[in-house]
């Protein structure tokens, strides 16, 4: 399994799996309740490989001892938001460098599904992007599109094909982030990113302070999980201003 794989896959449970990039800002740990006394209930930091609507794969240390069917708790965290998802190990495979846990979630516990979906939808809106149409709108304005599931779409503009980036508009899961003009100062660029709601009754309206914070949280996560199919300069720009 490779976290650099930008293509989605279909799991044995017929759920689409979306890759989590190596440098994604989403942090993960897993606690496995195994029968091994030395490692039971220890929280293992790991690297997420991919996520689906009903499960995830995470790489952890070879020191962990676990068995298929063990109950577990996967903890996901990003920018002050932390959620725990209960589940069971669907498989457990060891390689020369790490172990890979395949977790099947159990959403029978109240609140787990809603909290997880908040994160998962952002992963889908980033990892699911693929190249779309491109063309010159007018002299000095070349447009490129990347489209994803549902309404996810990233549009960027350059001064010419393959040239300097001049702006972007990224529609994610619940919000959009746009920068009309890219300048030389990245701190100013970050300040000038504007957000809008794209889901719910607040579509197109000015965001409250709390909603703005939610939009920035979403942008920070999505911008750190863009697939390799997107040009490196685009990925770098969005990460710097998110």
Pair (22, 115) in one structural domain: yes
Tell me whether residue 168 is in a domain: yes
Closest CA to 206 of 198, 218, 197: 197
The predicted model gives 116-140 an average pLDDT of 93
Query: Does 99 lie in the same domain as 44?
Result: yes
Q: What is the pLDDT of residue 116?
A: 93
Burial class (CB in 10 A: 0-12, 13-18, 19+), 123: buried
Q: What is the pLDDT of residues 35-69, one digit of tens each?
A: 677 667 788 999 999 999 999 999 998 888 888 89
Domain-terminating residue out of 100, 120, 140: 120
pLDDT tens digits, 177-188: 999 999 999 999
Ranking 2-6, 117-121, 133-137, 213-217 by mean pLDDT, the lowest is 2-6
Q: Provide the pLDDT for residue 2.
A: 40
Strand partners, 170: 154, 177
* Domain span at 167: 128-241
Is 2 within the bounds of a domain? no
Q: Is 34 within 8 Å of 27 (Cβ atoms)?
A: no
Q: Supply angle C-alpha 58, 62, 63, rounded to 5.
A: 115
Q: Are residue 166 and residue 230 in the same domain, yes or no? A: yes
198 Cβ partners below 8 Å, 6+ apart?
A: 151, 171, 172, 174, 175, 176
CA nearest neighbour of 193 among 181, 205, 210: 181
Whose tokens are 């914070």? That residue is 213
- CATH value at residue 96: 2.40.10.220
Name the E strands within 106-217.
130-138, 141-147, 153-158, 165-171, 175-179, 194-197
Say whether pLDDT at 138 is over 70.
yes
Same domain, 34 and 136: no
Q: Based on the fold, state whether residues 156 and 203 are members of the same structural domain.
A: yes
pLDDT at 3: 39
Which of 95, 120, 145 represents a domain boundary (last residue)? 120
Rounded to the nearest 5°, which phi and psi values hold at 39?
-120, -5
Q: Are residues 139 and 210 in the same domain?
A: yes
**What is the arrangement of strands in the sheet containing 175-179, beginning at the earlier edge strand?**
130-138, 141-147, 153-158, 165-171, 175-179, 194-197
Q: Is the overall model pTM greater than 0.85, yes or no?
A: yes
C-beta of residue 77 within 8 angstroms of C-beta of residue 69 = no
**129/98 Cα distance (integer angstroms):** 29
pLDDT mean over 72-96: 92
Number of domains in the chain: 2
User: Taking the alpha carbons of 131, 125, 156, 189 in that order, is the dihedral positive or negative?
Assistant: negative
User: Residue 2's CB: how many other CB atoms inside 10 A?
Assistant: 9
**Residues near 107 by Cβ (< 8 Å), separated by ≥ 6?**
54, 85, 113, 116
Angle of helix 209-223 relative to helix 232-241, nearest 10 degrees?
150
């Amino acid at each position: 399994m490779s976290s650099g794989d930008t293509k989605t896959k279909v799991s044995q449970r017929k759920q689409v799996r979306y890759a989590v990039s190596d440098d994604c800002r989403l942090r993960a740990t897993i606690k496995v309740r195994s029968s091994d006394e030395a490692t039971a209930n220890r929280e293992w930091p790991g690297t997420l490989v991919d996520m689906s609507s009903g499960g995830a794969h995470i790489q952890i240390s070879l020191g962990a001892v676990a068995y298929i069917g063990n109950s577990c708790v996967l903890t996901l965290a990003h920018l002050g938001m932390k959620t725990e998802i209960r589940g069971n190990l669907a498989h457990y495979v060891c390689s020369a460098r790490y172990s890979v846990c395949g977790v099947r979630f159990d959403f029978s516990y109240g609140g787990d599904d809603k909290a997880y979906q908040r994160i998962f939808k952002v992963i889908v809106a980033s990892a699911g992007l693929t190249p779309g149409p491109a063309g010159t709108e007018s002299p000095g304005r070349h447009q490129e599109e990347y489209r994803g599931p549902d309404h996810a779409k990233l549009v960027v503009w350059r001064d010419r094909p393959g040239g300097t980036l001049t702006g972007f508009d990224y529609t994610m899961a619940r919000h959009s982030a746009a920068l009309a003009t890219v300048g030389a100062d990245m701190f100013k660029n970050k300040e000038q990113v504007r957000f809008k709601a794209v889901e719910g009754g607040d579509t197109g309206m000015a965001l409250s302070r709390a909603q703005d914070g939610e939009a920035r949280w979403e942008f920070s996560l999505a911008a750190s999980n863009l697939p390799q199919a997107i040009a490196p300069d685009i990925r770098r720009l969005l990460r710097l201003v998110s």
